Amino acid sequence: MRPFWFAVHGIVHAARTERNMRVHLVASILVGIFAWFLPTTRVENIVLFGWVILVIAFELMNTAVERTVDLVTSEVRPLAKQAKDVAAGAVLVASFGAAVTALAVFGPYLLALL
C-alpha cells in the first residue's frame, strides 16, 4: 500500500510544482465537461480518456526526467539538454494527438449546436 501512496505523492507534487501539469489537468477537466454535456458515444469517451491518461503520464515522466537530469548536473550540458528536450517533445506529441482527437470528436457536436 505504501508504494501506492508514494505514487500519489509524486502526482500531487507534479501538480503543485509544474505549470504544464496544471495546464494538462485543466484541459482534462474541460474534456470531461465537454464529454459529459455533449452526446458523445462510449467509444469516443474511452478514446478521449485514453489520451488524457497518456498526456498526464507523459507529463509525469517528463517531470521525472527533468528532476533526474537536474540531480545529476547543474551545468548546461548538451546531453542533459537533449534528455530534457526529448522528454518535453514526447509530451508535446501526445498533447498534439490529444488535441486533434478532441477536435475530431467534439467538433461535429459543437457545430451541430450552432
Check if 59 is active-site: yes
CB 50 within 8 A of CB 90: no
* Cα angle: 12, vertex 18, 24; to 5 degrees: 85
One of 18, 44, 59, 75 is an active-site residue; which one? 59
Tell me how far apart the alpha carbons of residues 74 and 46 are, in angstroms, rounded to a whole number.
Answer: 41
Catalytic residues: 59
